[in-house]
Amino acid sequence: MASRRDFIKISAIGAGVLAVGAGAFKVIKVLSSSEEIKKLVVDLKRTPTYCEVCFWKCAGWVYKNSEGKIWKITGNDEDQHCNGRFCPRGTGGVGMYYDEDRLKSPLIRVEERGKQVFREATWDEAFELIATKMKDISSKYGPESMALFTHGSGSGYFTTLLKAYGSGNIAEPSYAQCRGPRDEAFFATFGEEAYSPEITDIRDTRCLVLIGSHIGENMHNGQVQEMSDAIDKGAVIITVDPRFSTAAGKARYWLPIKPATDMALLLAWMHEIIYNEYYDKKYVEKYCSGFEQLKAHVKDFTPEWAYGITTIKPDQIRKTAKEMADASPAVIVHPGRHVTWYGDDTQRIRAVAILNALLGSWGRRGGFYRPAKFALASFPIPAFKAPARTWQDIFPGKYPIASSPVSNALIDASVAENNPVYPVKGWFVNGTNLIFTIPNQANTLKAIQNLDLLVAIDTMPMEITGWADVVLPECTYLERYDILRVSPHRKPAIALRMPAAEPMNNTRSAYWIARELSKKLGLSGYFPFEKQEELLDWQLQKAGSSLEEMQRIGVKTFERDADDLYFAEDENVEFSTDSGKIELYSAFFEGAGFDPLPKYVAHEEPAEGFYRLIYGRAPMHTFSRTSNNPNLTDLMDENSVWVNPLVAKEWGLKSDQYIWLKNQDGIITDFSVKVRVTERIRWDSVYIIHGFGHAQKQMKRCFGRGVSDTQLITNVLVDPLMGGTGMRSNFVTFVTEKAEQEVVS
């Protein structure tokens, strides 16, 4: 296999072959810059793709060099997700392909779980073993005892497989570990979620309010681009964050809030907006219900009240409320994305939704636009038999408003002591490193030890693949077709991903893996096409295009059916809530036994000598999945712990010193982390970038670099409404010396 370094040598120099038998001088001679320039302008073959390094799924082009090897990836100008500009992760997607540590062959575990002793196997052997175990689980416990944890483009195929097999226990950690509370809160309020990409009309906004959301550090491409456009147009940015984020550095107002008190600020803003009559009266009257109840509810939540809780001065609260009102309806109180913080997250995001409703921003230019999505034809396959039992039958009555299966509930169902009504005994895990995704690692490992089958499908050896019984090596997105991308956006559009190269080593596409397994399980009727491109062509023909056309253009954008990106003046809008109105007061929540209006609840504070652990994103990494990517590791190869200078002084910590972190439950990080003494973080908190501290030795570049926040998140505040795992109530202290210890996770 050609490593990235080999590749660079060959193509940059263009003299890998010439070098043989030639003197070093001659090699250099060939490499003159003019030669290089000539080489680079050759018209190179390009193939369309959409990116899989994160969930934004930008469409772009993969270029190959004159040796036919993947060279670079750039954005497709026609694509609304990226407007021709990929983010660093997408540009560095080549590293995912060239990473020499990739999984190369199917693996079958030969020693006890977690010891990571595997033997290479053929695909057929691996499928045979999985199918036998799945049949055992089905006959012993019922097919619902198989669960799928999934993320990304492979999800659809394994979902089809699992549904055909008889289980609906299919969870995306992106729900309960990330955006779930937001989607439920917006659904309860507007009858619609905030979508992905979010329907925030940032490019035309006059005021953008970010609560803990660090756009620019989270590199959600279209949003970052639009925030930049908004800065150009002079929009007011208000950031609420205990950390001086990059976005805070661009903001007119930075409110350095005491962590875990955002709800108090949101309530005070509502108070200001209602009692100063800043709200959009016509909009509220026409579209909203429950205004009087809300008004009475927030009566006492004055800026002075909030000051005592948030440490944000009343004057700042007033000024920022006025800024929002002045910009209304071109104002966005951003719904956020990773919002699982304190266990009352659905209620907090309800407060965000209500604020937007008061400001009349939903359905308005510069607020939230109405998305349009292309409706693709689905090829007829046999109907799925409804599973006899759902995930909600496992722990009856828990998480009543969750609209998707809750990953952590399925994991809890694999631990016998939790007394599930029925157990989950088999896991398929695709494209999500559960050890780094799900908080309380001890619980996840306990669940794993209880399984009859754990199959991990990934491109990289991750922590989770180390615990698997069978590891199936997926090829990367650059080596395969996948489902057509039809995300909601301003205009409906289709994007194609096609292979730029043959799958490396013995890797295969997720589609092929799911289809071959379906054959072993006697379910091949659910995958009627041997080659995915045949299905794509069928779908594209129905859409008035063709595979051939899409291979040429990559992205096809259509006009909207009607000119309805925003609400028309006085339009009668029927919202998909029970009342057909925007529900400021949620009868739905009340009926489910929860507060119909959001309330402030005080959260636990750090003990003496402990600091709240806040984690976030770096623009060049996605979760824990890019930590070994050679191109992206080159930009950031470890995280650091941000410590306020006052705290550093007290502890005698210096920048660049390596320390360990210990949490409130006595958990000490496996690895040490570099200290970054900086004014950018509050004195009551520390901050680290998520995704580092890998204990998987097979990822040679990132093993042992930095620390894992997930390891320190043992206090999990579960949202009773929808099961989201609140992860911001963990507190850490500093350990400057630690005995050598074998890493076991």
Partner 1 sequence: MRYAMAVDTRKCVGCSDCVVACQTENNVPIGFCRDWVVEVMDGTYPQLEIEIRSERCNHCVNAPCVRCCPTGASHIIDGGIILVEHSDCIGCGACMASCPYDARYPHPDGYVDKCTFCVHRIKNGLSPACVAVCPTKCLYFGDLDDPNSDVSTVLKKRKFKTLIPEAGTAPQLYFLI
Binding region for partner 1 (CB under 8 A): 4-5, 8-9, 11-13, 24, 27-34, 36-38, 40-41, 71-75, 82, 84-88, 91-92, 94, 216-217, 219, 221, 224-225, 227-229, 231-232, 244, 246-250, 254, 256, 619-620, 630-632, 634-635, 644, 678-683
User: What is the rounded CA–CA span in Å between residue 559 and residue 462?
Assistant: 42
Work out how close the CB of 258 gets to partner 1 at its nearest, in angstroms, rounded to a whole number: 12
SS3 52: coil
Note the Cα 618 to chain centre separation in Å: 13
User: What is the rounded CA–CA span in Å between residue 403 and residue 391?
Assistant: 11
SS3 620: coil
Work out how close the CB of 257 gets to partner 1 at its nearest, in angstroms, rounded to a whole number: 10
> Which one-letter DSSP state was computed for residue 652?
T
Work out how close the CB of 313 gets to partner 1 at its nearest, in angstroms, rounded to a whole number: 11
Work out how close the CB of 228 gets to partner 1 at its nearest, in angstroms, rounded to a whole number: 4
Work out how close the CB of 662 gets to partner 1 at its nearest, in angstroms, rounded to a whole number: 24
Output 30 or 592, the one with its CB closest to partner 1. 30
Cis? peptide before 197, omega within 30° of 0: yes
Output 211 or 464, the one with its CB closest to partner 1. 211
Output 37 or 386, the one with its CB closest to partner 1. 37
457: part of which helix (H) or strand (E)?
Answer: strand 453-458
Output 32 or 390, the one with its CB closest to partner 1. 32
Work out how close the CB of 501 gets to partner 1 at its nearest, in angstroms, rounded to a whole number: 15
Work out how close the CB of 644 gets to partner 1 at its nearest, in angstroms, rounded to a whole number: 7
Which alpha helices (DSSP H) does 382-440 contain, by range? Answer: 407-412, 434-437
Measured over all CA atoms, what is the biggest interatomic distance in the chain, rounded to whole angstroms?
A: 86
Which of 223, 226, 231 is closest to 54 using CA atoms? Answer: 223
Output 556 or 682, the one with its CB closest to partner 1. 682
8 contacts: CB under 8 Å, gap ≥ 6 = none
Helices 314-327 and 262-275 pack at an angle, to 10 degrees, of 60
Output 274 or 495, the one with its CB closest to partner 1. 495
Work out how close the CB of 12 gets to partner 1 at its nearest, in angstroms, rounded to a whole number: 3
Work out how close the CB of 605 gets to partner 1 at its nearest, in angstroms, rounded to a whole number: 19
Work out how close the CB of 61 gets to partner 1 at its nearest, in angstroms, rounded to a whole number: 12
Output 219 or 236, the one with its CB closest to partner 1. 219
Which alpha helices (DSSP H) does 543-659 contain, by range? Answer: 547-553, 587-591, 630-633, 645-651
User: What is the rounded CA–CA span in Å between residue 228 and residue 575?
Assistant: 32
Structure-token pair, residue 573: 């809008």
Which of 705, 708, 713 is closest to 663 using CA atoms? Answer: 713
> Which one-letter DSSP state was computed for residue 103?
-
Dihedral angle sign, alpha carbons of residues 184, 189, 194, 200: negative
SS3 618: coil
Token look-up 């100063």 returns: 276
Output 227 or 263, the one with its CB closest to partner 1. 227
Which of 196, 207, 212, 261 is closest to 230 using CA atoms? Answer: 207
86 in Cβ contact with 497 (< 8 Å)? no
Output 170 or 210, the one with its CB closest to partner 1. 210
- Give the DSSP letter string of 430-493: ES--HHHHSS-HHHHHHHHHT-SEEEEEESS--HHHHT-SEEEEBPPGGG---PPB---BSS-E
Output 628 or 715, the one with its CB closest to partner 1. 628
Question: Other C-beta atoms within 10 Å of 580: how many?
Answer: 14
Which of 330, 362, 352 is closest to 567 using CA atoms? Answer: 362
Work out how close the CB of 320 gets to partner 1 at its nearest, in angstroms, rounded to a whole number: 14
Structure-token pair, residue 363: 């359905």
Output 214 or 520, the one with its CB closest to partner 1. 214
Output 73 or 653, the one with its CB closest to partner 1. 73
273 in Cβ contact with 324 (< 8 Å)? yes
Work out how close the CB of 196 gets to partner 1 at its nearest, in angstroms, rounded to a whole number: 18
